Every structure is written in C-alpha cells, then in structure tokens.
Structure 1
Amino acid sequence: MTNDPKKPQGPAGYASPPCYASEVAPDYFDPLGVDPTQAADVARWRKATRTQLRDARMKMSVADRQAIAGALITHLGQLLQERFAGARDMVFSAYWPIKGEPDLRPLMTQLHDQGVTIALPLVETKAAPLTFRLWTPDTRMVRGDWNIPVPPPDAPALTPDITLAPLVGWSADGYRLGYGGGYFDRTLAALTSRPFTIGVGFEAARLPTIYPQPHDIPLDVIVTEAGVRGNK
C-alpha cells in the first residue's frame, strides 16, 4: 500500500485512505469514488489477501475439508428447497473443485437425480464472459482453461437460473473475492437475465470488506459451513 498525501482522504475521523484494511471501517469505502492510484492499492491488497486465504485453506486437513463440504451440501440443499422447491426443471450451475475449494460434486449428482439440469462454467474465450455447458454424471470431461475438467465442446450450452460462485474470500455485504480474472462479474454483467447467485466458501475466509470497485457485483446469498448469509 502507498501513503501518497495527494490521494483522497476519508471523511473526518479517518486518518488513512480506504485501502488500509486494518484501519478503516468496512462501511466507509465508497466504490464509486476511487481513483487509479487507489484502485491499484486495492488490487495489491486483494492479491496479497487472496494468496493468504488460499494458502490457509490448502493447509486444512482432508477430514476438515470433507466435513465442511458436507455441511455446505446440507445448507445448499435446504436453500434450494426453500427458495426454489428443489430447483427441479431449472438450470443450476455448479463448479469443478480446484485449489482446495469445497468439493460439491456429490450435490451435483444428487440434484441431477432429482431432475435439476446441471451446468458447469468454462472459459472458451479469454477475457470474455463464461460459457455454461451441460453436465451429467456420464459426461466425459476434457481439460479446459487452467487444466480444469470441463464438459466437451459438443455439450449443449445453457443459461443458468441459479449459479454457484466459489469464494476465495467474502464479506457480509455480499461481495466476493475471487481469483482476480474478473470472469464471474463479467459474465453476470453480460447475461440478459441474471441468475440467482450463491457464493460458496469457508467461514474462516470472511473479511471485513473486499473494498468493492464499480465492476464488482454483489451476490444474492453466501453459504458457508456455518449457514446461509443474506436475505435477497
């Protein structure tokens, strides 16, 4: 973080600009008031925080990670039942777990068996919105961007009604710290009909704020092993 006296300062009572996460109240940051220098500070903070949170979750034991995934599957199942009557005949976009993310593949199979259409997101064009393609338990996966298993190119393209968003970090106001590529926000902005968005992550990855920028889009709810956050 820089300490440039020319940078805009906060309102009276705050000695530091908004990028100082340890010194500024989370509800103080104005996402529409950023300047290029401030945005660069936020980007550096996010990169460092992203690395810290990813390292922490990779150090979790397999047993702990499995227990958290089990709790998440329970909470997600209850959420889908309460809000969407189980989401039968709807398109539900999940994700293939990487880099210590909670493994929700049993939920994908469970929902498929209950009549939910399952899609997986994939990068087909760099720096463009994601594509969603049909997944079933019989799908022969291929290696996609970042070597992530994805449905093959001939799998039908779908538009999700509900989509999961894996979280590296999250804040109580519904904002997501992702991997930094901007694909999820870019995709939401491009969809004509926005899906119901569910952030999925670890309770320990909660942050006071991610210092939201104008391009950041808040999620509808966030689900951790502790339960469901948000009431949209």
Structure 2
Amino acid sequence: MADDDTPATFASPACFLHEVDPAYAGLPGPLDLQAWTDVKRWRRNERERLIAERLAVPAELRARQGEAIATGVLAQIGDVAGRIVSAYWPFRGEPDLRAFMEEIAARGGRTALPVVTEKGRPLEFHLWQVGEALSRGVWNIPIPAAQRPCVPDIVIAPVVGYDAACYRLGYGGGFFDRTLAALPAKPRVIGVGYSAARLATIYPQMHDIPMDLIVTEAGVVRPQDVSTVRALT
C-alpha cells in the first residue's frame, strides 16, 4: 500500500485509511468514542475477512455474478439517456462493471469514474467511457487521463459488506460518505456487491450514509427500518 502522505491522484476505491478518525476525515464524529474504537476494530476484521472470501471465489463465478449484478443495476436505473452514471474500476475481486459502462453509453448515457484529489476531501467525478485514455493512480488503479469534472445523476458504489438498512462497509477511508454529504444535490446511490457479503449490521455511525439500495447477484436489497440495525452510535 502506498504511503498515505504521498501526493497523488487516487482512483476508486481509494479507501484504505482503516484507522481514520471521523473528525480527521471531515465527518461527524461518534457520540461514544469507545464505541467507535470497538466498531473500527470490528469493521477492520470484517473487511479483511470479506475481501479474503471474495478473492477465494473462482474468477469465472465472480464474472457470472458480476454480469447478474450489472443486469440488476440496469433494471433499477431505467432510462439513462442524457444522464451521467458514475461507476468504478474493479479492484480486489469487486464486480466488474466495465461492460455495464459500455451499455450505459450505448443507451445514450454518459459514464464517469470517481477520483480522489486529496486525503480528507470529497471525491471528484470525471467523465470517462470505455476506450478513452487512462492514467494510473495510487495502487495502479486506472483513472481518467483527461480531467472532465461532472456531477453524476447516479453513483454506483462497490461494497465490501452491507446490511439490511443498506449501510455500506467500504475500505475504511470514508470517501463516499464525505462525498455524498458534500454534494449540492444527492444523486441516486446504488451499492453493488455479492450476496455473501451481507452482515447483520455494520454498526452505522453518525457519519455513515446508507445507499438507496444494494444490488447483488441474488437480487435487490432495499432499506429496512434503520432502528433495527443501528446498534452503536
């Protein structure tokens, strides 16, 4: 992993600040600092477990699951003509949605990738479609070579884990939460991941923002009553 203090441009998902404090990240802090310490430790362990488990799945099976997820997302977003859909570059066994991005363009939509410009700052979104030039950010994750900032109508966010209220367990840096909180108008946010990554709860905190829905290869998860899963705040 690259030195977090090295100036660079990151690509999604540049979220490896496992031990980051919400206040440091520019996010609202927890009400109970001891609870937050416990949650950080638990999330770190679950994150490592879930990533290891998905990487152990045969690539052919992951590819089929990714195709099912892409089909499910397309069914949920409907007409994309004239709209901007931000996806991501697949990383560490995440569902590969590059063919999905091509389909969005074929249907008259535009696609983008998220880019981190500075730690502790919201993500930027830059227009990019399959076939256009790429450069490489930290961890060699491709990012758009041309800087064309945009505001997406729909954001597709990869999840490491998720719960019944559609809270997302990510890579620990809080980039998506910070970005959604900073946008002038909230886009539709769809989490994507594998059904095996479902958790009873991620122990959502004040700074966590739920997805509008989660799409897995097994179907669509819509938010249930948040009170049933917000165990620690």
Q: 2:71 aligns with which of 70, 74, 78?
A: 74
1:169 corresponds to which residue?
A: 161
Q: Structure 1 residue 100 and structure 2 residue 93: aligned?
A: yes
Return the TM-score normalized by structure 2. 0.81
Q: Provide the rounded CA distance (Å) in 1 between the counterparts of 2:149 and 2:110.
A: 12
Partner residue in 1 for 2:106: 113
Unaligned stretches of 5+ residues in structure 2: 1-28, 225-233
CA deviations over 1:182-231 (Å, ceiling 9, x no partner):
10000000000011000000000000000000000011010000111117
Greater relative contact order structure (CA < 8 Å, 6+ sep): 2
| Deviation for aligned residue 1:33 | 7.4
How do 1:113-132 and structure 2 match up within 5 A? 113-132=106-125
The amino acid that maps onto 1:126 is K
Structure 1 segment 1-232 matched on structure 2, within 5 A:
34-81=31-78, 86-152=79-145, 154-230=146-222
Instruction: Please tell me whether the aligned partners of residues 123 and 145 of structure 1 are also in contact (alpha carbons under 8 angstroms).
Output: no
- The whole-number CA distance in structure 1 between the counterparts of 2:70 and 2:129 is 18
Give percent identity, aligned residues only. Answer: 47
Q: Deviations over 1:92-119 (max 9, x none)?
A: 0000000000101000011111111101
Which of structures 1 and 2 has the bigger CA Rg? 1
Q: Which runs of 4+ in 1 moved over 2 A?
A: none
1:154-189 deviation digits (Å, cap 9, x = unpaired):
331000110011000000111000000110000000
Aligned length: 197
- Residues 49-106 of structure 1 show CA distances to partners (whole Å, capped at 9, x for unaligned) of 000000000000011101101111111111112xxxx211011000000000010100
Deviation for aligned residue 1:136 = 1.6
Query: Deviation string for 1:121-158 (max 9, x for gaps)?
Result: 01111121001001122311100133210002x33100
* TM-score, normalising length: structure 1: 0.82
